[in-house]
């Protein structure tokens, strides 16, 4: 009897890392989206993993998830804890020695990643996580929650990079872009990782 190959099944989400700003930003939509995402994650039984802050979008995300009965794990370096920006009402606060350890621990704890609006630190976290996915370091979905078209210029830049030949294959394979927190979570749950593509053609160095 012939056996058909198994159809890939998306792994169930338990913990989702959220990258976002430590301030509120210029639009009320940003704070509202962080609050809505935290609430929805708690309602769906998903643990929030984030940078551990108590202010800005970070604080709104954590407070909303906790208020809805959810679990929230923060990860923060000693230096930032000592500056009194840590959220001390979390389910757990993991204190590490460096920013590198912080990012590594968040990535290890999470089953998926969502990036809310933020500054250069948020951008750095997003690009590192997305790069790791394309290189096969992990096979977890990476999401951009595009609140009020905040990420539209970045997506246009990514498309330009691909058009100019610096991204092979389809750059969106590893990237889930959505405008709604609930839809984003549903799509991350259904995500199946694509094959990792070769970066160099035969004969290239």
The domain locations on the chain are 15-190
Report d(CA 154, CA 161) in Å as an integer. 10
CB atoms within 10 A of CB 8: 9
Fold of 15-190: Rossmann fold (3.40.50)
Q: What's the rounded mean pLDDT across residues 123-147?
A: 92
Token pair 């830049």 is found at: 157
Sorting pLDDT into bands at 50, 70 and 90, what band is 134?
A: confident
Q: What pLDDT score was predicted for residue 166?
A: 87
Sorting pLDDT into bands at 50, 70 and 90, what band is 194?
A: confident
Q: Which two tokens stand for residue 116?
A: 């809310």
- What pLDDT digit, counting tens, does each position of 8-38 carry? 445 579 999 999 999 999 999 999 999 999 9
Q: Which two tokens stand for residue 132?
A: 């790791």
- What pLDDT digit, counting tens, does each position of 58-117 carry? 999 999 999 999 999 999 999 888 786 899 999 999 999 999 999 999 999 999 999 999
Q: Is residue 171 scored above 90 in pLDDT? A: no
Q: What pLDDT score was predicted for residue 10?
A: 52
Q: Is residue 133 scored above 70 in pLDDT? A: yes
The b-or-e profile of 130-148 (16+ CB within 10 A means b, else e) is bebbbeeebebbbbbbbbb
CB 176 within 8 A of CB 184: yes
């Amino acid at each position: 009897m012939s056996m058909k190959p198994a159809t890939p099944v998306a792994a169930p989400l338990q913990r989702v890392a959220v990258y976002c700003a430590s301030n509120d930003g210029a639009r009320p939509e940003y704070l509202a989206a962080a609050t809505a995402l935290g609430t929805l994650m708690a309602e769906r039984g998903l643990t929030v993993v984030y940078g551990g802050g108590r202010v800005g979008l970070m604080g709104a995300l954590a407070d909303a998830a906790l208020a809805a009965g959810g679990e929230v794990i923060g990860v923060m370096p000693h230096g930032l804890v000592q500056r009194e920006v840590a959220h001390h009402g979390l389910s757990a606060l993991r204190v590490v020695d460096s920013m590198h350890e912080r990012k590594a621990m968040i990535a290890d704890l999470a089953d998926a990643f969502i990036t809310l609006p933020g500054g250069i630190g948020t951008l750095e976290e997003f690009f590192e996580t997305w790069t790791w996915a394309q290189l096969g370091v992990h096979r977890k979905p990476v999401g951009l929650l595009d609140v009020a078209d905040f990420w539209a210029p970045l997506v246009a830049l990514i498309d330009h990079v691909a058009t100019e030949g610096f991204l092979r294959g389809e750059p969106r394979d590893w990237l889930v872009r959505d405008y709604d927190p609930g839809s984003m979570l549903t799509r991350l749950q259904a995500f199946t990782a694509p094959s990792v593509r070769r970066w160099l053609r035969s004969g290239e160095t």
